[in-house]
Amino acid sequence: MKIAVLLKQTFDTEATISLDSEGQINRQGVNLIINPYDEFALEEALCLKENYGGEVTVISAGAPEAQTALSQALAMGADKAVLVTDDALAKSDEQAYALLLSKHLSDLGFDLILAGWRAIDDGSAQVALRVAERLGIPHINVVTKLEINDGKAVATRETEGGSEIVEVSLPAVITAQKGLNEPRYPSARGIMQAKKKPLQKLSLADIGLSADQVTPKVEIISYFMPPTRSVGKIIPGEMPEAARELCRLLREEAKIL
């Protein structure tokens, strides 16, 4: 079974985000990690390989430093890694990434494509599903349990207030939700083996695309930080008076009544 895992490098969930003097996100000194939902996807791919055999390839697109995340994926047990990096991708959006990923995936051919259901930095939850649509294959989103049998994927996925079981034929795109598994840590042996595994770097031209084809359709006008939370208030006094004062504050200051 040939399995591809779409992987994105994101800011650490505990990182402090700030804007620089030009109003852009300040990346200096920020720790970068594998998107946590993509880790669930990678772990599921590794478990499937252990159970059924095959090969796991991790694929990322973006900045050159994403190579660090791919190296970690190789140390966890992936067999190959591919990084598509190009100056033209600096301001690309979800549709551009879906285009180049689907183009590369269609050239190589895979039985199963796994990804996190969203990235923790932008939270758009678009790329994996756009890839499925471009490839013309089924997809199951927000999966918490996955079984592969006789060329079919049977997945339990989250729904509002419950869950449902969906069956699709392979090849298919599956996006992982928390609860699907518990990602492993790279072992010392895995880290050493990762140095000998192939990590291929490609440009847009290498996969048959031009800079014009990844021109973003969405433009980010500006970034801004959320407003600072005000200090909470303690309302003194007896209960009836305190309740009246609370209602007044909610109506006149908070303006929610």
Please give the chain's pLDDT, 257 residues, in tens.
999 999 999 988 887 778 887 787 777 778 889 999 999 999 999 999 999 999 999 999 999 999 999 999 999 999 999 999 999 998 889 999 999 999 999 988 899 999 999 999 888 899 999 999 999 999 999 999 999 999 999 999 999 889 999 999 999 999 999 999 999 999 999 999 999 999 999 999 999 999 999 988 888 888 888 887 777 788 888 998 899 999 988 888 878 86
119/179 same-domain check: yes
Quote the distance between the C-alpha of residue 230 and its chain's center. Answer: 32
99/155 same-domain check: yes
Report pTM: 0.84
What b/e readout covers 166-191, taking b as 16+ CB neighbours within 10 angstroms?
bebebbbbbbbbeebbebeebeeebe
Task: Please count the structural domains in the chain.
Answer: 2
130/38 same-domain check: yes
246/142 same-domain check: no
In Å, what is the CA distance from 37 to each residue of 51, 54, 146, 234?
A: 22, 22, 15, 40
Q: Note down the domain range covering 248.
A: 227-257
145/246 same-domain check: no
d(CA 76, CA 89): 27
80/9 same-domain check: yes
In Å, what is the CA distance from 239 to each residue of 106, 235, 236?
A: 68, 10, 9
251/200 same-domain check: no
Residue 253 located in a structural domain: yes
d(CA 44, CA 38): 10
Tokens 């609370």 — which residue? 246
Give the number of residues written for the chain. Answer: 257
